[in-house]
Structures are given as C-alpha cells and as structure tokens.
Amino acid sequence: MTDIWRDDAPGERRAALVENGNIVEIHIQRDALWALGECGVGRIDRKTPSGAYIVSDDGSVLLLRSKINQPDGARVAFEVTREAISEPGRIKPPEIMLRDNPPEPLMGKDALWEARVASIGHSAINASIADGFDVAITGQSNLGDVTISFQRSKAGLVFDIDGIGDAFAINMAAATEIARLLRLYQIGAMVLIDFVSMESKTQRTQIAEAFDAASMADARPFERTAINGYGMMQVVRARPRPSVLDQLFGTRIAALSDETQAYWLLRAVAQSSGFGARTVIARPDVVTLLQSERWAAWRGQATRLAGAEMQVVADEKAAGYGHVHVAQS
C-alpha cells in the first residue's frame, strides 16, 4: 500500500512517499530559496569567462554557466535549473538558464510544490513525517551488530561500515541499507562507501549487485564504480536539489543549521494548542533570523495558524533548537 503524507508549515513544506507504513522518500521545499523550475528576472552583476553571476530582483545571487553577450547591468529573464546547495563551510548558489521572456503566468512556489508532490504520488493526507529525520540527525543506522555511520563533506557523503562477524554478511546488510538511505534522504552528487574489506573479488561483485538491486526502487539513475580491494565504492547521482541532509545541516557538518531551527520553531508555533501567547525561546542567531524582515510573512502565518500572538526571546543557553512556551490565559 502506497500513500503520500504531507506536513506543511510556514516557510517549509514536507512530503513523504510511504509504502506499507514506512517512509521511503522525504521531499522538502523551503520558501526562502529559489525552487527548481522557478522563473524570475534579474540583472547581470558580473560576467566570467564561462558565464555570469545574476542578481535577482529579490537580491539573490544566481549562477549562469554559459556565455552571455549582454553587458554588465543588463536585465535578463531566467529559469532555475539547480537549487542552491549548502555544503559544510559553503553555499553553492542556484544555477540558471536564460529565457527569452518569463512565462505568463509565472509558476510560483505553490504550483511547483504541488507538481512535485503529484510526481511522487496522489491522494496525499496530512501526517507528521518527523520520525523520518531521526537517522539523519544521529548520522548512524544500526542493524543488529552492523553499524552504518555517515557524514557530509565538501566532496560528498561518506559512509563507514562496522560490524561483528563475517565481512560478507555485514556488507550485504549495509549495501541494502545504504541504498534505502540514499532514496529516503534524496541524496545526490558523490557518495563514497567504505565497506568492510574482503579479499574475494566474487564477493565484492555480489555486494555491488545487491546495492544495485536495492536501488531499483529508487527512480533516480546513478553510476557507480566496482568495490576495490580496500572496500571502497563510489556512487554518483544528479543533484538538482539539496538533499534532506543538506537542508537540515546547511553549512554545518552534524548540527542543525540556524535556518532549520527557525523553521522548526515556527512549525511548533503553528501546530501548538492553547489560547495564550506563544513565546519562542532560541539562541540569539536563530532569533535574529526569526525577527528578520524576510521571515515576516512566515511569522504571520504561524501566528494565524496558532490563533495567538508570538514573541521571540534570545537565550544563549537554549537547549536543542529551542522551544515554544504557551502562556496560561
């Protein structure tokens, strides 16, 4: 049985493909960013030997990877071909292609999200998918005596496998689980897998084929290397959007980004119950983000959904990503 669960909140939309009660794919769209397929207008800020940087009307910087004849300052219409990607220590800007004219009417974030949800299934229901983030946040999946750890780097995502007992059995379990995680968190670009080393080339081939078989459920094409004598295998997929891990951690390695904390606090406000005012307590950097002008619309959505006023308080010692207090009215 297949279902689509939706879990939308101010500024952040979530959807999950669910098979037999298990979440198998998570999709996220954050409205602060340009979405894949979104069109807009901007000006040429700086030309490069192979393209140009474009500044959109909302002040975002986007990258064009093709030569352009217009001079600096010229107005251009564009379409986003790859969303912004956050990696440890840096953010790669959205990539675009030029259009003769923006389409009429423009397809906004609402329509793009509805099309994306429709592409993974129909008959969506409202349900929380928060449990699907547990393994992503810990960076570790445990299958009995087999431990699969993973971490983001600038070069890509790295998996390390440990376990007790037969190396072939450990690797077979890990190959299937890693294929599941790549689909679950919609991971693209380069993935490096460090299997437990095995001398037998036949066994290494069997492990790689098990990975291929487990990946058949994922519609996204990929390429991979063979597993070498040291146990290393590389997998590459297209990366038109950030993965769930990219969105959760941003430019950090294993800590929730300020943006994630802010989105989740607004979600908590919107989903809270009670009649009293909501007080959001968070670290100062997160509070600065929440109080910014760019986030005003999402603050308004959160208070309307809660049916109560909201105030934001900075606390350097706030635990986790902060919390929401509901006053007793």
DSSP assignment of 49-97 equals TTEEEEEETTS-EEEE-S---SPTT-EEEEEEEE--EEETTEEEPPEEE
**pLDDT at residue 329 is higher than 70:** no
> Which CATH class for the 256-326 domain?
alpha beta
Q: Where are the domains of the chain?
A: 2-33+109-128, 39-99, 133-237, 256-326
CATH number at 39-99:
2.40.50.140
In single-letter form, the type of residue at position 192 comes to L
How sure is the predictor about 278, in pLDDT bands with cuts at 50, 70 and 90?
A: very high
Residues 75-109: pLDDT tens digits?
999 999 999 999 999 999 999 999 987 767 678 89
State the average pLDDT over residues 231-239.
97
Residue 86 backbone phi and psi in degrees, to 5? -90, 130
Question: Do 39-99 and 256-326 agree at the fold level?
Answer: no
Q: Cα separation of 272 and 281, whole Å?
A: 14
> What pLDDT score was predicted for residue 107?
80
